[in-house]
């Protein structure tokens, strides 16, 4: 789920970069505007963190080390990051971002849907907290 979410986010980044280079406003590409650059930078950082958390969990799995906290961190962060990234991508595209002509509305919908399978974000937080505290929330 973590790396799949990073894939959705990367697709949204790629679409946003293409659009920011191509779309012109006031005689220049919107990618030259500071706030558009900030949104794209945020999108890139969120996606890279998602990848790194996913790779960290996979590395532990490869070594045969228990990693339920790391897997929960990767799933929790990455699906929420994909939601934030796809939302920013829609913002970069303006009204076109909500159009069914572009894949962004589908990326956003997919990202939102991925917060539920394999345990909701809230369940992932409970797993992380339980492992840190040694206290089960359901006792």
pLDDT at 139 > cutoff 80? no
- Residue 138's pLDDT is what? 79
Structure tokens at 90: 């829609």
Which CATH superfamily groups domain 2-133?
Answer: Butyryl-CoA Dehydrogenase, subunit A, domain 3 (1.20.140.10)
What value does the mean pLDDT take over residues 46-68?
97
Judged against a pLDDT cut of 80, whether residue 99 lies above it is answered with yes
Could you tell me the pTM of the whole model?
0.93
Domain ranges of the chain: 2-133
Q: What pLDDT was estimated at residue 117?
A: 87
The pLDDT > 90 percentage for the chain reads 89
């Amino acid at each position: 789920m973590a790396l799949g979410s990073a894939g959705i986010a990367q697709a949204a980044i790629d679409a946003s970069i293409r659009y920011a280079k191509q779309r012109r406003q006031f005689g220049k590409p919107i990618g030259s505007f500071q706030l558009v650059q900030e949104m794209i930078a945020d999108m890139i950082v969120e996606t890279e963190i998602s990848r790194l958390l996913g790779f960290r969990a996979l590395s532990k799995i490869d070594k045969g080390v228990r990693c339920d906290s790391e897997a929960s961190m990767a799933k929790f962060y990455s699906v929420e990051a994909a939601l934030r990234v796809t939302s920013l991508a829609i913002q970069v595209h303006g009204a076109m971002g909500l159009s069914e002509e572009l894949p962004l509305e589908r990326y956003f919908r997919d990202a939102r849907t991925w917060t539920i399978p394999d345990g909701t974000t809230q369940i992932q937080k409970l797993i992380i907290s339980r492992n840190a505290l040694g206290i089960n929330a359901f006792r």
